[in-house]
Copies of this chain bind each other. A is one copy, B any other.
Amino acid sequence: MGLPWEQLFSGSEKRLRGSAIRDLLAVAARPDVISFAGGLPAPELFPLDAVRESFDRVLTDDGAEALQYGATEGYEPLRVYLAEQAGSRGIHVGPENVLVTTGSQQALLLLSLVLVHPGKGVMIESPSYIGALQAFSLYGPRYHPVAMDDDGIVVDAARDVLAQPGVRIQLLYTVSTFQNPSGVTMTLPRREALLEAACRAGVPIVEDDPYGDLRYSGERIASFRALEGGEDSVYLGTFSKTLAPGLRLGFAIAPKQLIVKMGLAKQAADLHTDSVAQRALLDFCLHNDLAQHVAMLCDVYRERRDTMLAALDRYFPSGCRWTRPSGGLFTWVTLPEGMDATALLAEAVEQKVAFVPGESFFTDGSGANTLRLNFSHPQPAAIDAGIRRLGDLLRRRLPTAGGAFAATLAN
């Protein structure tokens, strides 16, 4: 016995990006560590009583239906509700355009199964959300990373990729608002120009919007699907950041023919999403004011973002830069050229503070001097203390020159 498993594993599995820093980040879960590493909502803000009441109502009123097998595309009244909600944001669709997914991560998997070809192109923001890269990588595409600035994707860079001879792009993936990992939001003119370029090239835009509701200042910007000519864009939403991630409830809005294909893929993936959770979600939305709950979240997270930005201003040495997001969960730090954020993490963990080095958000090996900081999960005092510790580490190391520092720690 003792099968040679390594010889049996398929190529696809090798494309799964196991994270070399996973062990380091496991440390971040220890209670004595201040973690800026995850993308976790603040658990003390979950509306526990209301959620419990919703589960109770569903199992009391509809228990047998909720515990039975359900439709692959999702609980129909929830699809209707999601379509209505989308309408209030300029996305005019029917329930047949909505697919309930097991978290929006599953929507990424289904899109990968349906649209991604080995060797064909996927256009992504650089940096990009790791979970999307994991999902797309299952089918081995060729990535075409496109540069971003403070206004989102640089449209000329995207046009250049689209114009390359022989390049076939299957989809353009963007977290357009409060991006993970950068915190950047794409402006409306950029969206309009990007959509026009994508349409002209026959490339669908997949817009992942987990953070759009968590806006701390400014006005919501229309999603691609709500723009003129955006009918072929795909919109991914989730309740992981606004209600609770543990329930794994997301959804995709897409043209009917794509929903049909994604539904077929979902049959193979998990038959359907937990029916009790789907019904409890709808019950929660009908019996509570989710918008008011989100407004409360925004008040708390706004303070934490402000605390983090103030602490960065105070404690981080000059030569470091970071984004100033108007919402979402993350800010993105660029260290001086030549510094290595992964090496810094090893030191930071000793000081009981953690973050995610930026390199794994890139597909081209760049980004060694970048890192992502989460401000939604730690409380303000911890944010200040943690950023101070990181700042101390950086200050101590910076005078000896970034390059030498990185080289030393990498050994």
Contacts and interface: CB of A to CB of B under 8 A. Distances in A.
B244 A272 contact: no
B43 A52 contact: no
Given A115-B9, A246-B274, A41 B68 contact: yes
Contacts of A106: 269-270
Q: Give the number of times this chain occurs in the complex, counting copies.
A: 2
A40 B56 contact: no
A264 interface: yes
B199 A12 contact: no
A131 to B, nearest CB: 7
Interface string A43-85: 1101010011001100110011111111000000000000000
Contacts of A264: 13, 16, 18
A276 B68 CA distance: 17
Given A139-B12, A264-B13, A52 B46 contact: no
Contact of A268 (B9, B63, B67, B138): B138
A202 to B, nearest CB: 6
A102 B270 contact: yes
A147 interface: no
Contacts of A344: none
A393 B135 CA distance: 49
A20 interface: no
A109 interface: yes
Max count, chain B CB within 10 A of own CB: residue among A5, A48, A231, A232: A5
Interface string A258-285: 1001001101111111111100000000
A399 interface: no
A1 B46 contact: no
A267 B158 CA distance: 29
A105 interface: yes
Given A8-B204, A48-B64, A247-B274, 15 more contacts: A3-B204, A3-B255, A13-B261, A16-B268, A44-B64, A46-B68, A51-B59, A69-B240, A102-B274, A105-B268, A105-B269, A108-B268, A138-B265, A248-B273, A270-B270
Interface of A: 1-6, 8-13, 16, 18, 38, 40-41, 43-44, 46, 48, 51-52, 55-56, 59-60, 63-70, 102-103, 105-106, 108-109, 112-117, 131, 134-135, 137-139, 170-171, 199, 202, 204, 229, 231-232, 240, 244-248, 255, 257-258, 261, 264-265, 267-277
